[in-house]
Structure 1
Amino acid sequence: MNFDEILCLVGGFGKFQKILYIWICLPQIFLAFHMLASVFTGAVPPHLCRSTWPSAGAPASPDFNFSLLSGQPELSCRDQLNHSSALGLGSGHRAGSCQGGWEYSKETFHSTIATEWDLVCGSSSLNNISSSIYMFGLLVGAVVFGSLADKYGRRPIILISLAIQAIFGVGAAFAPNFYIYILLRFVVGTSISGVIMNAFVLGTEWTGSKQRMLAGIITDYFFGIGYILLAGLAYLIRDWRKLQLAISAPGFLFIFYIWVLPKSARWLMANDRKEEAWELIRKAALVNGNPLHEDLEICQAYKSKEKTEEKRKHTVIDLVRTPKMRKQSLIVFYLWFVNVLVYYGLSLNISDFGMNIYLTQMIFGLVEMPARTITLFTLNRSRKFSQLAFLAVGGLACLLTIFIPNDLSVIRTVLAMVGKFGITASLSIIYVYSAEVFPTVIRQNGIGIGSMCARAGGVLAPIIFLLGGISKQAPMVLFGLCPLLGSALTLLLPETANKPLPDTIEDVEESDPSSDSSLFK
């Protein structure tokens, strides 16, 4: 008898688990805020060097139409003399040596970090670098909080991460300069990984195998809700400091999690803390209306299984120590990497599509809902085929954009949204899939390293768009080919739909390969 069988007696997704998922899902809204806030706080509105005005250093004429520069930032950054006749301006200087300061359009944004600290033209790469440093924070958080959660448990790391997120998120709203802002956002990034990974694993470890997929997708819906709500918040709050404060300050309300968030009984069992585990199991059974009496037979059966297993500490080395575990781990790590690379590559560059930035953000958020919903109808049939198919859809759609002429921007945008649809669905699946591939004794390590690989993709996503200076097609070529490779590698993974979670590495190595011969089970 394993823990999944115990959960069947307790209730795989009863009242206890539903309450738990409420606590897990609420922070997802704020995670979306922090992850995507830079779309607005780091936006670069149309701008022009004041030195180009007939009266050098004078503010821009209120009658000047900044829309002449919209979508053509190169007009602001080239020799202004070359464009003076086109724009009706006087002679000026090169943008890189703008002496009079910059004038920004306030039609869309009142203030962003780009307008406050002049991150334009020669300094524009700092904006991309700040996004990459934030993503690097998620990578560091995946490593640090992944190992700490395996050592100290899921619950304390979630609580610590939520506190860090609120404190440093509010601090970023009061950053006195760009470099302090980057540092504070980096720390927020580390906390995001701590919450994302451990909240998901905590829910997975309390949920029965039949309901695990549905429960996992539910958390993604709340991230999508945050995606959409951010568009509304940013539309109402056009000043970046106030927006940063609005998305961070409510995080202090999560202090009540100290009293309501439970530990993981599965983790307690795996770490030989059986008395605490059984106390939680009895409590969950009682809440679910299935009270357990002192069932010594069940307890002894679980202990007997434990006695047959080698007692030793597990490390990340165990992810690659044995042949089958090594193959599965490396493939899953790549899938994490490519999903996040393409997801944030598309999500953080919505201004490139030429539409209203608030409308585009909302549409991209709305796309998340059907993308996550469709996985509910495919995951129960096959985790493997679902992962493979949606990666292929996302990759092909991104690749097709390079064949669409620039004057057909609507078609290019539609294809990009189809790519976003496929990658969003695939990203939802990899959370569920990887939690089922890794055994309990190294599950958090596996999720942690997978999340670390994902964050490496997030770090590279803003930088890849700098390749557009060499070839405009280069970013979308990469966003197309990488998922297609991942789709092919998925064929080598086992099917995990409606199967018990493996508890030990031996469970993985001794699994029957013939049971995975078909994509549909």
Structure 2
Amino acid sequence: MSSSLANGFESSESPEDTGAGGKDAQRNGSLNSKETIDEEDNVSDQIENLLERIYGTGRYQFLTVMFILLPCFFSVSFIQSLTYFVIPIPSDHWCRLPVNISSVQDELALLPPLNTNSSVYSQCRMYDLNYSAFEDYDALSSFINASRVNLTTTQCQHGWNFDTSVYHNTIATDWDLVCGKDYLPTLSYSLTSIGGAIGIGAGGYLADHFGRRITYFVALFIVVFFGTLTSFAPTFDAYVLATILMTTGTNTIYQVPYTIGVEILPARFRSRFSAALTFAYASGGIGVAGLAYLVRSWRPLLQIGIAPFASFFVFWFFMPHSPRWLISRGQLKNAQKQLRLMAKVNGVTPTEEWEKELEEMCKRNQTLRYITTRRTANLWNWIRIFQTFPMFRQTLLLAYLSSTVTICYVGLNYYAPALGNDPYLSFCLSAMIELPGSLMSGVIARMVGRRLTTFVFMTCFICASAFCIGVASVPLEAFLAAKLFMTGSYVSQELSLYESYPTDVRSEGVAFTNTVSYIASNLGPLIVFLRHDSPVLPFVIFGSISLVGVFALCWLPETHNKALPETVEECQKRSQEVSANNLLNCWPYKRGAKQSPEPQTSQEHSRL
């Protein structure tokens, strides 16, 4: 069949132009779906075997991951984490009075109490007086103390003063986003989902149709340019607009390197890659905590934290093209060039045999892609992830599971600075706890599979959240345990996500899932905002939605030690194998089944 498909692809005429014979062939091809799927399985296995053969010492993949991809993940984390120190509202603020006062304590003594029986001053109200009528502070103080009970109050008329012991200034202090406007910093964070949703969708489309590398650098330019521009925003509205434009690229500069890493590595190394990138991502959060501690004004913090990443444009000369994407697009010469470079660095001598196999794979893969997308315009190619019930079910389950994990993960990050008295230390500990979480998840996912790993970590997260119920405030130990388990869930779930979609629509499928989860992730800060009513209420909500996610993941196919799917039909076949029997059977190996040993790895392999 492969030779007939190849001949059909090489023909310049479409099936519709070949007369009745062409129509009959097209009809027979559509009916013989099982043969087509078997052909696609063969292509997927051939690509996986080819990558294994040219892996050699693995030096090319090691250098690419260590010195190109991991720094990319560090930059994303660093840029995204800056927001947590740009938008906070200082814990102490009060009305600014139009009088010359020498000390803060003297000014606080002139403020009305929070209520009649309270000794705490109001943060949002001041006495309704003509302050200019008093000669000096002593006269004003004597008048207020003598008639405090009878005086009326009004909202702050001259702005606010803030405690600068923790933050020198933030957007809340610059634009007085307190009292009736205290929801605006959280809202500004949530509104970034507009740019994020647009950017994820556009980035996925561009990556699948124009290539991974060029898409990354377009997104990097957007992030660096608008991120730096954000620091010069003259108003709150301008800040929100610039932030939305910046976030159109932030998720793409994370998604594309992840896709490249998954597509250049053999199956046995992907869990290690996922754990390694989480190390880099967590390191970015730790670095931001240190920088924010030293630079406590939000404008220079953004400038110092974003502009230097313009140096990453030098990666243009070193970032690889995805050989899987090149093969799926039938770009034989570019695929040969990329694979020869990988083989040369890895110490493998190319042979005529795999050169012929590569040529055959390009022809066959593009022909299969032509057949399966014949009735679908390229612009709507992503709709194929919904074309059958098994694919529809898998896509929705991946979207829900990803949304659940992202809501909890983002919510915990948003909660971290408000935990304890030192937001810098709290955020640093929150980022550091991700290191053992990602390591544990990577090791367990490699041993027992992605699905069972996610199941275990999410169940532990639910238990840690339940521990917070009934306590007056969230203990730091419980919070760190919850963050560790959610990080482990995030690592294994994200790896499964990238391994579940086929190469020809992988970026678009991942983009759709990430768009849904990114929009849903804005519920995280809103849920955390409820801590003002009850400190433990966010953990009750996080634990509840995670409980549903535990059951959802059991209906997803296991991707452990399997070749990456190349076409939608191959994914459909794998999804059809998942039934109700999988609901309680998260263990990836059947009892009594003989497991095939992993290929022998050298010391060079173990570096990944």
Alpha carbons of 1:246 and 1:3: their partners in 2 closer, same or farther (altered >3 Å)?
Answer: same
Structure 1 residues 238-282: Cα deviation after superposition (integer angstroms, max 9, x where no partner):
111111111111111112122111211111111121221122111
Q: What is the 5 A alignment of 1:116-131?
A: 116-131=174-189
**Contact conserved, 1:375 with 1:429, CA < 8 A, in 2?**
yes
Q: Closer, same or farther in 2 for the Cα pair 1:397/1:156, shift >3 Å? A: same
Cα distance change of structure 1 residues 290 and 94 upon mapping to structure 2, 3 Å threshold: farther
Alignment: residue pair count? 504
Q: Which amino acid aligns with 1:61?
A: S
Work out whether 1:364 is the aligned partner of 2:364: no
Equivalent of residue 103 in structure 2, options 56, 61, 72: 61
- Residue 504, structure 1, aligned to residue 567, structure 2: yes
Please tell me whether the aligned partners of residues 42 and 112 of structure 1 are also in contact (alpha carbons under 8 angstroms): yes
Instruction: Find the aligned partners of 2:389 and 2:186 in 1 and give their Cα distance.
Output: 39
TM-score (norm 2): 0.77
Q: Percent identity?
A: 26
Distance in 2 (alpha carbons) for counterparts of 1:422 and 1:76: 40
- Give the TM-score of the pair, scaled to structure 1: 0.90
Equivalent pair of 2:56/2:347 in contact (CA under 8 Å): no
In structure 2, what residue type is equivalent to 1:454? Answer: S
Amino acid aligned to 1:519:
W
Higher mean C-alpha deviation, range 466-475 or range 197-206: 466-475
* Among 84, 87, 103, the residue aligned to 1:42: 87
2:524 aligns to what? 461
Indicate how the Cα distance of structure 1 residues 99 and 43 shifts in structure 2: closer, same or farther if over 3 A, else same: same
Q: Would you say the 8 A contact 1:57–1:101 is kept in 2?
A: no
Give 2:394's aligned amino acid: Q
> Please, which of 349, 374, 381 is the counterpart of residue 291 of structure 1?
349
Alignment-mate amino acid for residue 377 of structure 1: V
| CA–CA distance in structure 2, aligned partners of residues 427 and 64 of structure 1 | 50
Structure 2 partner of 1:85: none
RMSD of aligned C-alpha atoms? 2.8
Gaps of 5+ in 1: 82-87
Name the CA shift for 1:487/1:75 in 2 (closer, same or farther; >3 Å). Answer: farther
Pairwise CA distance, 1:414 = 2.1
Is it true that 1:205 corresponds to 2:271 in the alignment? Answer: no
Letter in 1 for 2:358: C
CA contact (8 A) 1:50 1:58 kept: no
Partner deviation per Cα, 1:137-191 (whole Å, 9 max, x = no partner): 2222111111111111110110111111111111111111111111111122111
Q: Are residues 75 and 226 of structure 1, via their aligned partners in 2, closer, same or farther at CA, if it must alter by over 3 Å? A: farther
Counterpart code for 1:386:
T
Mapping for residues 7-86 of structure 1, pairs under 5 Å: 7-11=51-55, 14-21=58-65, 22-45=67-90, 46-51=92-97, 56-58=98-100, 61-63=103-105, 76-77=122-123, 79=125
Aligned to 2:593: none
What CA distance in whole angstroms lies between the structure 1 residues aligned with 2:249 and 2:463? 34
Distance 1:181 1:275, change over 3 A: same
Change (3 A) 1:215 1:466: closer
Compute the displacement of 1:308 (Å).
5.4
Equivalent position SS for 1:379: helix
Q: Distance in 2 between matches of 1:93 and 1:48?
A: 17
AA partner of residue 192 (structure 1)? T
Tell me, yes or no, if the aligned pair for 1:136 and 1:455 is still in contact at 8 Å. Answer: no
Partner of 1:344: 410
Partner of 1:84: none
| SS of the residue 2:352 aligns to | coil
SS in 2 for 1:262: coil
Instruction: Report the AA paired with residue 361 of structure 2.
Output: Y
* 2: CA distance, partners of 1:64 / 1:155: 60
Amino acid at match of 1:250: P
| Structure 2 CA distance for partners of 1:60 and 1:220, relative to 1, 3 Å | farther
1:193-247 Cα offsets, whole Å, 9 max, x none, are 1111111001111111111111122111111001111111011111111111111
Amino acid at match of 2:399: F
Stretches of 4+ aligned residues off by more than 3 angstroms:
56-60, 62-66, 74-81, 88-95, 465-474, 511-518
**SS of residue in 2 equivalent to 1:2:** helix
Counterpart selection for 1:137 from 184, 195, 198: 195
Q: Which region of structure 1 is more displaced relative to structure 2, 31-40 or 201-210?
A: 31-40
Please tell me whether residue 318 in structure 1 is matched to residue 363 in structure 2: no
Structure 2's unaligned 5+ residue stretches are 1-44, 128-141, 590-608
Query: What letter is aligned with 2:253?
Result: V
Question: 2:406 & 2:494 partners in 1: Cα distance?
Answer: 12
Tell me the CA shift for residue 305 of structure 1: 4.5
Greater mean alpha carbon deviation, residues 304-313 or residues 247-256: 304-313
CA distance in 2, matches of 1:237, 1:93: 41
Q: Aligned match of 1:519 in 584, 587, 603?
A: 587
Is the contact made by 1:33 and 1:226 (CA closer than 8 Å) also made in structure 2?
yes
Deviation at 1:333, TM superposition (A): 0.7
| Map of 1:420 onto structure 2 | 483
* Aligned 8 A contact 2:125 2:156 in 1: no
Pair 1:373-2:417 in alignment: no
Q: SS where residue 161 of structure 2 aligns?
A: strand
CA contact (8 A) 1:141 1:194 kept: yes
Map Cα deviations across residues 309-339 of structure 1 (whole Å, 9 max, x no partner).
Answer: 6252572211111122221111111111111
Preserved CA contact (<8 Å) 1:60 1:103: no
Deviation for aligned residue 1:477: 2.1
The DSSP-based 3-state class of the residue aligned with 2:540 is helix
CA distance in 1, matches of 2:478, 2:302: 31
Query: What secondary structure, in the 3-state scheme, does the structure 2 residue paired with 1:495 have?
Result: coil
- Is 1:391 matched with 2:449? no
Larger Rg: 2
Query: By how many angstroms is 1:13 displaced?
Result: 7.4
Equivalent-residue separation in structure 1 for 2:478 and 2:347 (angstroms): 49
- Between the aligned partners of 1:200 and 1:458, the Cα distance in structure 2 is 20
8 Å contact kept, 1:265–1:281: yes
Deviations 1:105-127 (A, max 9, x none): 11111111111111111111111
Shifted more, 352-361 versus 227-236: the winner is 352-361
Distance 1:65 1:506 in 2: 71
- Name the CA distance, whole Å, in 2 between partners of 1:93 and 1:253: 58
Amino acid at match of 1:49: C
- Tell me if structure 1 keeps the 8 A contact 2:444–2:453: yes
Q: 2:361 aligned with 1:302, yes or no?
A: yes
**Does the CA-based 8 Å contact 1:396-1:484 persist in structure 2?**
no
Distance 1:470 1:114 in 2: 21
Amino acid at match of 1:338: T
The one of 353, 376, 391 equivalent to 2:419 is 353
Would you say 1:445 and 2:508 are equivalent positions?
yes
Superposition deviation, residue 11 in structure 1: 0.4
Sort the Cα spacing of 1:448 and 1:414 in 2 relative to 1 into closer, same or farther, 3 A: same
